[in-house]
């Protein structure tokens, strides 16, 4: 038994499935999850001392790479001053201001208040509660294949984690709660119009990933998000733009910032952030106009709270990360992602294996089918079993890809020439293995 196998066996004895978040279990790719002992820059090192170029990036937070010295120093400095106070701190105010400033500077002012929470799940759950409180309506529209965390009402057809386990939705969600969520196909404005027509005056909010990245990458059609903003406004509902994954990753003001700076002016009512905003620590946020956000307690009647909300260590990591995330960082990530995504496309093309690489800024994923992939049905209709062989071969070569075809690949500013070259060198063999794979094969 290898050390990873022994660790996994021990883990399964005390933790359900041996993991604290399902996709980590390698269920769809097979094999033994690597137990990570340390990480630095673009690499993770497992308990056997083997180092891998990491394209998981903690599922998004590691924008600068792992353990950036300035981020670690900021956390250490904060830790020395105390771990948690349950009282306001100036760091929280600073971080909220940095978030608002980045939106205003790189897109346009769209939010006036920020509430810090600990996870993306809390951010979207609170945003939804707020839209219900603000509108006095109950129904919520979400898109199939979009993941907004694991709160009850948002779990239906929620993409990667569930898709990897081949589950349409979670059990344990009462039918009465599921009935408050209308699930529609992504990129289908007619379906949204029809939902508003079928439920007049009852829909509180539409929630959408700014760009879908949890069923593989699903790029919004040009103008789709702006049209959602116009439609919700016309119907007296609110638009929640979930930038937990894309926020501060695909650009300094997230996916919304990219759309606005490309000349299409629109704004959501609420934005949610997570991952990069905490720099690898548990921190997330929701933001919006004061008239909506001030309905949160203690000013308003919509309750939300958290013992560790705005935790000083997490705030220090988030502030350090956002301060370091300048134009050079985004250029480096974009360039590295382009090189790897282009190479994936080229290697498969060279052997005549049909795939489609979907890209949203520096985020990309591949699907084993012809394009386009516009919605969850498209994403699921592929030879996903081929990914197992691609994954195993790259892992053997020292490259750690996301352990599911339904996840985006994450690069970081620490992915330099050496790391990118290692990925490129691993690809030809891995691509041949994927092409030669058979359904259900090892």
**Residue 192 or 277: which CB sits closer to ligand PLP?**
277
Q: Which residues are within 8 A (CB) of 94 and not within 5 positions of it... i.e. 6 or more apart?
A: 315, 319
Give the residue closest to ligand PLP by C-beta.
Answer: 120
In the residue annotation, 275 being an active-site residue is answered as yes
Residues listed for the chain: 442
**Residue 121 or 135: which CB sits closer to ligand PLP?**
121
Q: DSSP per residue over 78-105, as a string?
A: HHHT-S--SS--HHHHHHHHHHHHHHHH
| Alpha-carbon distance values, 164 to 28, 158, 159, 261, 379 (Å) | 6, 11, 8, 35, 12
**Residue 124 or 394: which CB sits closer to ligand PLP?**
124
Q: How far apart are CA 193 and CA 235, in angstroms?
A: 10
User: Does 214 sit near ligand PLP (CB under 6 A)?
Assistant: yes
Q: Which residue in the block uniquely carries the two structure tokens 């990933």?
A: 209
Q: What are phi and psi of 203, to 5 degrees?
A: -90, 120
Residue 119 Cβ vs ligand PLP, minimum distance, rounded to whole Å: 4
- Give the binding range for ligand PLP (CB under 6 A) out of 8-16, 117-125, 368-376, 398-406: 117-125
Q: Are 219 and 258 in contact (CB under 8 A)?
A: no
Residue 235 Cβ vs ligand PLP, minimum distance, rounded to whole Å: 23
SS3 218: strand
List 33, 57, 120, 403, residue binding ligand PLP (CB under 6 A): 120
List 8, 26, 52, 147, residue binding ligand PLP (CB under 6 A): 147
User: Does 124 sit near ligand PLP (CB under 6 A)?
Assistant: yes
Q: How far apart are CA 239 and CA 271, in angstroms?
A: 9
User: Does 148 sit near ligand PLP (CB under 6 A)?
Assistant: yes
Q: How far apart are CA 225 and CA 245, in angstroms?
A: 16
Q: Which residues are within 8 A (CB) of 136 and not within 5 positions of it... i.e. 6 or more apart?
A: none
Residues 37-76 that bind ligand PLP (CB under 6 A): 59
Binding-residue total with ligand PLP (CB under 6 A): 15
- Which of 26, 147, 186, 387 is catalytic? The answer is 147
Report the candidate in 327, 341, 348, 324 with the shortest Cα–Cα distance to residue 410: 341
Residues 236-275 that bind ligand PLP (CB under 6 A): 242, 244-245, 274
- Give the binding range for ligand PLP (CB under 6 A) out of 62-70, 116-124, 314-322, 388-396: 116-124
List 28, 32, 89, 119, residue binding ligand PLP (CB under 6 A): 119
Q: How far apart are CA 326 and CA 430, in angstroms?
A: 34
- Give the binding range for ligand PLP (CB under 6 A) out of 71-79, 103-111, 114-122, 298-306: 114-122
**Residue 66 or 386: which CB sits closer to ligand PLP?**
66
Within 10 angstroms of residue 442's Cβ, the number of other Cβ atoms is: 9
**Residue 240 or 392: which CB sits closer to ligand PLP?**
240
User: Does 279 sit near ligand PLP (CB under 6 A)?
Assistant: no
User: Does 378 sit near ligand PLP (CB under 6 A)?
Assistant: no
- Which of 54, 242, 269, 378 is catalytic? The answer is 242
List 46, 54, 92, 209, residue binding ligand PLP (CB under 6 A): 209
CA 243 to the chain's CA centroid: 8
Q: DSSP class of residue 41?
A: B
Helix (H) / strand (E) element for 183: namely strand 181-184
370's tokens: 């012809």
- Which of 52, 275, 330, 375 is catalytic? The answer is 275
Residue 267 Cβ vs ligand PLP, minimum distance, rounded to whole Å: 18
Q: How far apart are CA 351 and CA 216, in angstroms?
A: 23
Residues 80-109 that bind ligand PLP (CB under 6 A): none
Residue 164 Cβ vs ligand PLP, minimum distance, rounded to whole Å: 12
**Residue 140 or 392: which CB sits closer to ligand PLP?**
140
**Residue 134 or 217: which CB sits closer to ligand PLP?**
217
Within 10 angstroms of residue 264's Cβ, the number of other Cβ atoms is: 12
Residues 281-340 that bind ligand PLP (CB under 6 A): 284
Residue 401, sorted as left (phi over 0), alpha (psi -120 to 50) or beta, turns out to be beta
Q: Are 203 and 214 in contact (CB under 8 A)?
A: no
**Residue 242 or 259: which CB sits closer to ligand PLP?**
242
Q: How far apart are CA 403 and CA 401, in angstroms?
A: 6
**Would you tell me which residues interact with ligand PLP (CB under 6 A)?**
59, 119-121, 124, 147-149, 209, 214, 242, 244-245, 274, 284
Q: Which residues are tagged catalytic?
A: 147, 242, 275
């Amino acid at each position: 038994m290898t050390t990873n196998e022994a660790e996994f066996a021990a883990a399964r004895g005390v933790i359900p499935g041996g993991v604290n978040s399902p996709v980590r279990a390698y269920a769809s790719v097979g094999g033994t999850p690597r137990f990570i002992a340390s990480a630095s820059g673009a690499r993770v090192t497992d308990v056997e001392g083997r180092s891998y170029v990491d394209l998981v990036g903690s599922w998004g937070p590691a924008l600068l790479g792992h353990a950036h010295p300035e981020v670690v120093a900021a956390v250490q400095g904060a830790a020395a001053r105390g771990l948690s106070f349950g009282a306001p701190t100036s760091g929280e105010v600073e971080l909220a201001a940095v978030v608002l400033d980045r939106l205003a500077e790189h897109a346009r002012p769209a939010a006036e208040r920020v509430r810090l929470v600990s996870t993306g799940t809390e951010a979207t759950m609170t945003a939804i509660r707020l839209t219900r409180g603000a509108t006095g309506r109950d129904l919520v529209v979400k898109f199939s294949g979009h993941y907004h965390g694991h709160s009850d009402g948002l779990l239906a057809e929620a993409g990667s984690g569930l898709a990897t386990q081949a589950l349409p939705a979670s059990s344990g969600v009462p039918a009465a709660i599921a009935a408050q969520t209308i699930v529609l196909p992504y990129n289908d404005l007619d379906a949204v119009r029809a939902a508003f027509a079928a439920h007049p005056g009852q829909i509180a909010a539409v929630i959408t990933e700014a760009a879908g990245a949890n069923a593989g990458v699903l790029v919004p059609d040009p103008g789709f998000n702006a049209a959602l903003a116009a439609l919700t406004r016309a119907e007296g509902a609110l638009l929640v733009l979930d930038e937990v994954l894309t926020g501060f990753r695909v650009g300094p003001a997230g996916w919304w910032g990219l759309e606005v700076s490309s000349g299409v002016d629109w704004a959501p009512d609420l934005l949610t952030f997570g991952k990069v905003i905490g720099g690898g620590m548990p921190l997330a946020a929701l933001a919006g106009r004061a008239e909506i956000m001030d309905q949160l307690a203690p000013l308003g009647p919509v309750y939300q709270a958290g013992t560790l909300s705005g935790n000083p260590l997490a705030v220090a990591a988030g502030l350090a990360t956002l301060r370091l995330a300048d134009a050079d960082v985004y250029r480096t990530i974009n360039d590295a992602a382009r090189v790897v995504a282009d190479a994936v496309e080229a290697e498969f093309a060279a052997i005549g294996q049909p795939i489609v690489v979907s890209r949203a800024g520096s985020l990309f994923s591949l699907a084993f089918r012809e394009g386009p992939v516009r919605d969850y049905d498209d994403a699921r209709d592929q030879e996903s079993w081929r990914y197992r062989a691609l994954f195993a071969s790259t892992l053997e070569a020292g490259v750690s890809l996301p352990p599911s075809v339904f996840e985006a690949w994450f690069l970081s500013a620490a992915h330099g020439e050496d790391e990118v070259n290692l990925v490129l060198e691993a690809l030809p063999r891995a691509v041949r293995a994927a092409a030669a794979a058979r359904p259900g094969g090892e």
